[in-house]
Structure 1
Amino acid sequence: MDKTKLSWVCFILAVLAWVPNLVFQVASPLFLSTFLLGLVGAILALMSKNYILMVLNIVMFCSFFIFMAVGYTWNSLT
Structure 2
Amino acid sequence: MKKKNWIVLSVICFLLGLLAWWTDILFDHMYKLWLLTFLINPIGFLFGLLGRSKWGMISNALMTISVFIFMFIGYLIAALFGGQP
Asked if TM exceeds 0.5, the reply is yes
- Retained in 2: the 8 A contact 1:11–1:38? yes
1:37 pairs with 37, 40, 50, which one?
40
- 2:47 matched to 1:14? no
Aligned residues: 78
Residue equivalent to 2:65: 62
Code of the aligned partner of 2:75: Y
Partner Cα separation in structure 2 for residue 9 and residue 51 of structure 1: 15
Q: Indicate conservation of the 8 Å contact 1:20/1:27, yes or no.
A: no
TM-score (norm 2): 0.82
Deviations 1:14-62 (A, max 9, x none): 0111113334433431100001111000000000000111100000010
What residue number does 2:74 align with? 71
**Normalised TM-score (structure 1):** 0.89
The runs of 5 or more residues in structure 1 that have no matched partner are: none
Aligned to 1:47: 50
Fraction of identical pairs, as percent: 35
> What 5-or-longer segments of structure 2 have no aligned partner?
none
After TM superposition, the runs of 4+ consecutive aligned structure 1 residues lying more than 6 A away are none
How many angstroms apart in 2 are the aligned matches of 1:21 and 1:66?
16
Aligned-CA RMSD value: 1.5
Bigger Cα Rg: 2
